[in-house]
Amino acid sequence: MMKTIPRKQLLAELSKVVPRDILLDSDEAMRPFECDGLSVYRKLPLLVALPENTAQVREILVSCNRLGVPVVTRGAGTGLSGGALPLEEGLLLVLSRLNRILEIDPLSRTVRVEPGVRNLAVSEAAAPHGLYYAPDPSSQIACSIGGNVAENSGGVHCLKYGLTVHNVLEVKMLTAAGEEIVLGGPSLDSPGYDLLAVINGSEGMLGIITEVLLRLLPLPETAQVVLAGFASIEDAANAVASIIGAGIIPAGLEMMDRLSVEAVEDFIAPGYPPGAEAVLLCELDGGEAEVAEQMLHVRALLKENRATSVTVSASETERLKLWAGRKNAFPAVGRIRPDYYCMDGTIPRRELSRVLAEISEASHRFGLQVANVFHAGDGNLHPLILYDGNAEGELERAEQLGAEILHLCVQAGGTVTGEHGVGMEKIDSMCEQFSAAELEQFHALKAAFDPAGLLNPGKAVPTLNRCAELGAMHVHGGKLPFPDIPRF
Amino acid sequence: MDQQQQILDQVRAALEAKSPLALQGGGTKSFYGNPSQGAALDLSGHSGVVEYDPGELVVTCRAGTRLAAIRELLAQNGQYLPFEPPALGDSATIGGTVACGFSGPGRPWNGSLRDYLLGAKIINGRGEVLAFGGQVMKNVAGYDVSRLMAGSMGTLGVILEVSFKVLPRPARELTLVFECSQDEAILRANRWSALPLPLSAASWHDGRLSLRLSGAVSQTEKAAEQLAADELSEDQAHWRRLREHELDFFGSASPLWRLSLSPACPALNLDGDCLLDWGGAQRWYTTTESTGEVRAAAESAGGHATLFRGGSGADRFHPPAPAMAELQKRVKQAFDPHGLFNPFRMNSDW
């Protein structure tokens, strides 16, 4: 069971089993760890531990388990949903020092890494063998593999190459009690339940990841990108449907709305068409002949769908320049207002125009601008709500608008989070997406892995009480979401 | 036809009576796994495609829908299930296919059944109807319970409805044959998999390595030229017969073992006949070697061995390590606390 103990006691207990200098206990030293990429939530933990090897991780877990101290795991801290937000009464376990690439096997096309290895470092290490690691979340220069697995991270190439879960073969983890369990392996499947599928995206709630075996893919022979401008979002959305309907699976298919396009033009001038209501970036990769064949087809489809401009990259430099606009969209939008709040809903593609129109309506109603950047190929939206954290009540309004956008996504048959995770941020929206029985099933599954409930408690899956307390905020069709449980 | 309410009533009655259920789809894979126990619960009537929008690349079907019907519907729209599930009989249902978790010859390159599973509606062992995942490709809200259903042998709950990501069929497929030894075949399949070639299947038996190339016309033809095979054909029958276990190899009277291994490990030292699939990651053996011998060989090659057909023994599946075995049991209890569904089918202890 979870207990609250004083900082001094935890420090004394852990100092017995691990070197004192891997533990941080002063407020000043712990300050950099008080939040992850979602900085509106901040909290100082009871203690920070920065273990250097798996043996130390195990010692720390065994002690915390004995003392009943909850453990929040953190990788590079780039997460966007507050999943690594510390708990006041808990230990923050930072795995960034477990950063060795243990083995690359070019013949089997696998790489074995510790959880603190950065995503991009994997592809860099594999490159001499003509291989790479496909999932490329936008934070790939900084984010680490352990966090990628915990969040089941995506990226711009998901439609063709899948999410993290599709590219992980094995995970070694420690339970809250410090017991090692191996999920998956070098073979393509394992006997019994596919728990590897469950650990991906489990947000540090089920186990502490200590080693990961990743699948590598051959580097494509070539890649080419085409940029198209449109006079309406609807035309752009129709172009997306046409491309996919024609049997083409692009490596990346990204859309940006007018506000985002203007912001990046002001910021780095990538040469996006002025005055376009939407731009579409479509990347094709594969063999030279295949890419050339498909590019002809895509260009024709863009024109058919009334593209107002079409630019194809003629060189690698041009390809990177066209992508630079999309990749700088967040910081560019960040220059319009002091703060932005990034949403992460996913909807069926066919709902795109309708949902965007409703977001626009809500944006006017709340008096906050929304810039839309999204992975059009897989329906994953990243509306950026612009606000000023120093202006009275704006953050609260931004959060309310955010909740309304997630509500729109759920109503459209989608989900509240496509790739950023629930963490602390979207925990209340989970009450809307799932029934009481479904949430209880999640809790039961967690208890199978973590019976004492010590790993990242309070994140990812809300308690029924929390949902009940929220009931007033989530009244739909005159019915409370959980009419059969007590109210507080 | 939608029989959800009827099935739910049957599950609740069984729960009340504490009487276990043996879940049944088309009955084409009833030989697989440990013997079923409990009263039969027929799910084949709960059928029909609930939603299919080719532009969304997603199909949603009730569990009793016949696999053949889904294949046909997708084919009419130039699409397919990229994990190429073996049906092993005309009456195979999509629910049974998910429960067994089988994937066909393209698995190492295109992904497995669980990779394409986006959502599932189930009845758990408390008699509750639950929906997880959905019809979108990116979804990290809550634990990925739908993928957990793949290969769970119906022991976690009654699968009512599933959603799959589907893909356009490749424009062109070519089959290449090379004459070589098993070790040479393993080496070639793995080396070529590390190159940007449109490889989509690799099998070997009796001195013949067969490769399949899938993709754009220009690309497959260029790759075929580059690989310079001994034989080249547009006939794809070999892959269908391999998938459906219709090749002569599968007609042997000896027990059939499925070994899932690290793909590049050299040929194993086991008696009997061997057919290699998945570029070496899946190896079929018809052998009379003891269970202990076969399992030890599989473990030494980074994998596991399943007694697929024939033979005898308490556990058809490879026993997991002790800590893992304990975790698996707790996961079962989290979904089915009273042991209502398919008792012992996957594990002889529960």
Task: Please enumerate in sequence order all residues whose Cβ is within 8 A of that of A448, keeping only pairs 6 or more positions apart, or say none.
Answer: B327, B330, B331, B333, B334
Give how far A350 is from chain B: nearest CA, Å.
7
The percentage of residues in chain A with a pLDDT greater than 70, rounded to a whole number, is 97
Distance in Å, alpha carbon of B139 to nearest chain A alpha carbon? 4
- Percentage of chain B beyond pLDDT 90 is 97
Q: Which of A107, A166, A346 sits opposite B111 (nearest CB)?
A: A166
The Cα A55–Cα A57 span in angstroms is 5
What integer pLDDT is reported at residue A469 of this predicted model?
A: 87
3-state secondary structure (DSSP) of residue B241:
helix
What would the pLDDT profile of A128-172 be if each residue is shown by its tens digit?
Answer: 999 999 999 988 999 999 999 999 998 888 889 999 999 999 999
Residue of A nearest to B79 (CA): A247
d(CA A474, CA A469): 10
Contact B147 A198 (CB under 8 A): yes
Q: Give the 3-state secondary structure of residue A75.
A: coil
Which member of B152, B196, B327 has the closest CB to residue A218?
Answer: B196
Per-residue confidence (pLDDT) for residue B312, from 0 to 100: 86
CA distance A22 to A14: 10
Query: Is residue B279 predicted with pLDDT exceeding 50?
Result: yes
Q: Nearest CA to CA, how far is A236 from chain B (Å)? A: 14
Q: Which of B53, B76, B140, B282 to mutate to test the interface with A (most CBs of A within 10 A)?
A: B140
Cα B276 from Cα A460, distance rounded (Å): 42
- Return all residues near A26 (Cβ < 8 A) that are at least 6 apart: none
Q: What does the pLDDT read at residue A482? A: 45
- Mean pLDDT of all residues in B51-71: 96
A441 CB within 8 Å of a chain B CB? yes
The tokens describing B229, both together, are 């095979």
With CA atoms as reference, the chain B residue closest to A198 would be: B144
Residue among B143, B192, B257 with most chain A CBs within 10 A, to mutate: B143
Digit-coded pLDDT (tens) for B310-320: 998 778 999 99
Can you tell me which residue has the tokens 């067994």? B100
Residue A346 has what DSSP assignment?
B
Q: Do B137 and A159 lie within an 8 Å CB cutoff?
A: yes
CA dihedral A278, A284, A290, A294 (to 10 degrees): -10
Of B111, B222, B331, the CB nearest to A195: B331
Of B144, B216, B219, the CB nearest to A198: B144
Question: Phi then psi for B24, rounded to 5 degrees?
Answer: -135, 130
Q: Do B148 and A198 lie within an 8 Å CB cutoff?
A: yes
- CB-closest option in A108, A179, A182 to B264: A108
Q: Tell me: ipTM over 0.95.
A: yes
Alpha carbons B308 and B310: distance in angstroms, whole number: 7
Give the closest residue to A149 by CA, choosing from A97, A95, A91.
A95
Contact predicate B139/B333, CB 8 Å: no
CB B25 within 8 A of CB B345: no
Q: Which two tokens stand for residue A2?
A: 């979870």
A 194-233 residues inside an 8 A Cβ radius of B: 194-195, 197-198, 200-202, 206, 218-221
pLDDT, position A479: 41
Distances (CA, A) of A360 to A313, A339, A415: 32, 19, 19
Percent of chain A clearing pLDDT 90 (strictly above): 88
User: How many contacts (CB atoms, under 8 Å) link A and B?
Assistant: 265
Q: What is the pLDDT of residues B248-277, one digit of tens each?
A: 999 999 999 999 999 999 999 999 999 999
pLDDT per residue rounded down to tens, chain A (488 residues)? 788 999 999 999 999 999 999 999 999 999 999 999 999 999 999 999 999 999 999 999 999 999 999 999 999 999 999 999 999 999 999 999 999 999 999 999 999 999 999 999 999 999 999 999 999 998 899 999 999 999 999 888 888 999 999 999 999 999 999 999 999 999 999 999 999 999 999 999 999 999 999 999 999 999 999 999 999 999 999 999 999 989 899 999 999 999 999 999 999 999 999 999 999 999 999 999 899 999 999 999 999 999 999 999 999 999 999 999 998 898 899 899 999 999 999 999 999 989 999 999 999 999 999 999 989 988 999 999 999 999 999 999 999 999 999 999 999 999 999 999 999 999 999 999 999 999 999 999 999 999 999 999 999 999 999 998 887 444 443 344 444 433 33
